[in-house]
């Protein structure tokens, strides 16, 4: 990490749900929470707990100097709603095979 920029990843005790348009896209008790300088906490949900059958891979890819290259998935009415780092940088290797949603509910 660069000076002043930190990322921490921890297992959350929360149950996490991602819902869009009333449809549950993911639900997990095994999510990771990633805290990154200047960003809101993000929940990374194991791929096995995500309804991948409802999502369509997107052409979008972005690059983060701290996490690597992200791939995105969309719904018909929500472009690039979900992302993941298929080959994350070693410092954040724990998020491999996890997907992240812009908005999640926690309990």
In a domain, 91, yes or no: yes
In a domain, 12, yes or no: yes
In a domain, 2, yes or no: no
In a domain, 48, yes or no: yes
In a domain, 1, yes or no: no
Q: Which range of residues forms the domain containing residue 51?
A: 7-106
Our CA dihedral for 73, 77, 79, 81, rounded to 10 degrees, sits at -60
- Structural domain count, the chain: 1
3-state secondary structure of 92: helix
Q: Residue 102 gets which letter from DSSP?
A: S
Chain segment 27-85, per-residue pLDDT in tens: 999 999 999 999 999 999 999 999 999 999 999 999 999 999 999 999 999 999 999 99
In a domain, 47, yes or no: yes
Q: Residue 11 gets which letter from DSSP?
A: E
CATH classification of the domain holding 65 = 2.170.150.40
pTM across the whole model = 0.93
């Amino acid at each position: 990490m660069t000076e002043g920029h930190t990322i921490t990843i921890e297992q959350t005790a929360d149950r996490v749900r991602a819902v869009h348009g009333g449809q549950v896209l993911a639900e997990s008790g095994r999510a990771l929470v990633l805290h990154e300088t200047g960003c809101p906490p993000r929940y990374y949900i194991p791929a096995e707990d995500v309804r991948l059958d409802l999502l369509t891979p997107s052409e979008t890819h972005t690059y983060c100097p701290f996490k690597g290259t992200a791939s995105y998935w969309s719904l018909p009415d929500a472009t690039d709603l979900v992302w993941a780092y298929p080959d994350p940088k070693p410092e954040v290797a724990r998020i491999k095979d996890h997907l992240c949603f812009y908005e999640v509910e926690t309990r």
